[in-house]
Amino acid sequence: MKVFSEKKEINTLVDAYKAERQTIGFVPTMGALHKGHLALIEKAIQDNDAVIVSIFVNPTQFNNAEDLEKYPRTLDEDIMLLETLSKDILVYAPTVDDIYEGKTTSEHFDFDGLEFEMEGKFRHGHFDGVATVVKRFFEIIKPDNAYFGEKDFQQLQIIKKLAEKYDIPVNIIGCKIHRETSGLAMSSRNTRLKPEYIKVAPVIYKRLKTAKTFFGTKSANWVTKWVENQFKNNELLKLEYFTIAEVDTLKPLKRKSKNKTYRAFIAVYADDIRLIDNIALN
Ligand code: PAF
């Protein structure tokens, strides 16, 4: 397995692939890889001649210093896991300096309002940080296809908008959420959950599934109130938001329209660990 830490090495490789008209698939990650990441990488392997996986805990997308500090960093285990998929995967694990060149700040982006909804309200500057690093990765790696999980559905929509607004010639491919058998959405943050929280956290997906059932006959407002009530007396899980939104604009649903597609989104604190999830409603 080849692991690179400098963009100039990646540039040389990318130039060689482009010269031979080989397609490049790119899977950006912050490491602490789990089965959800592996599914994205497997899809990238199927679709492309070469696959580059980045492993980089991006400081500019953390709006909380403690969250950044505690984010799991497991490069050796990650590389071992990737080797079980294919030894041909190329890993780009840069330093902060290789990406930010001494200026660890975000660019400011306008995503036509997508950035102000849900996560944008609670994690100020988060999407500017994500878009800054993903745009840099796109410039360095020049992928034909890039793969993102639907667990971060708002991020996926924002990256599609980034590619569209900046005319970046890359197909953005969304892949479905991978879940533990308990229903809990897979996330690198799950490794930090204490046993009592692992036990209760599956309730998040359970509530989403029930909300989906109710959505067939009840208003968005009714379903939202119902979910909020379910979490009211929960000692361990603290609801930050539950929102039903239209998928293209991510604006909260006011009145249902037959030809629109909706999803329910949720963010919950389990101890100091923030978990997010979502479900397609129609
Ligand atoms: O989804 C993530 O893990 C990160 O936001 C990403 C896309 C790798 C950018 O740092």
What local confidence, expressed as pLDDT, does residue 119 receive?
98
One domain for residues 135 and 208? no
What local confidence, expressed as pLDDT, does residue 227 receive?
98
Q: Can you read off the two tokens belonging to residue 72?
A: 């799991």
What local confidence, expressed as pLDDT, does residue 276 receive?
98
One domain for residues 85 and 128? yes
CATH at residue 64: 3.40.50.620
What local confidence, expressed as pLDDT, does residue 103 receive?
96
One domain for residues 220 and 195? yes
As beta bridge partners, residue 237 has 270
| Domain limit, last residue, from 175, 210, 239 | 175
Q: Which residues of the chain have pLDDT under 50?
A: none
One domain for residues 142 and 84? yes
One domain for residues 103 and 229? no
| Domain limit, last residue, from 124, 150, 175 | 175
One domain for residues 80 and 196? no
What local confidence, expressed as pLDDT, does residue 265 receive?
99
Q: Is 106 in the pocket of ligand 1 (CB under 6 A)?
A: no
Q: Is 118 in contact with 150 (CB distance < 8 Å)?
A: no
What local confidence, expressed as pLDDT, does residue 229 receive?
98
Residues belonging to the active site: 37
Whether 230 maps to a domain, the answer reads yes
Q: Can you read off the two tokens belonging to residue 68?
A: 């950044």
CA 27–ligand 1 middle distance (angstroms): 9
One domain for residues 130 and 205? no
* pTM (whole model) above 0.85: yes
What local confidence, expressed as pLDDT, does residue 149 receive?
98
Give residue for tokens 């006959």. 217
One domain for residues 141 and 35? yes
Give residue 202's domain range: 188-277
CATH at residue 202: 3.30.1300.10
CA 55–ligand 1 middle distance (angstroms): 9
| Domain limit, last residue, from 144, 175, 206 | 175
For residue 279, give the amino acid letter.
I
What local confidence, expressed as pLDDT, does residue 82 receive?
98
To test the pocket of ligand 1, the residue of 55, 134, 147 to mutate (highest count of ligand atoms within 8 Å of its CB) is: 134
Whether 182 maps to a domain, the answer reads no
Q: How many structural domains does the chain have? A: 2
CA dist 282 and 266 (Å) reads 17
What's the distance, Cα to Cα, between the start and end of the chain in Å? 42
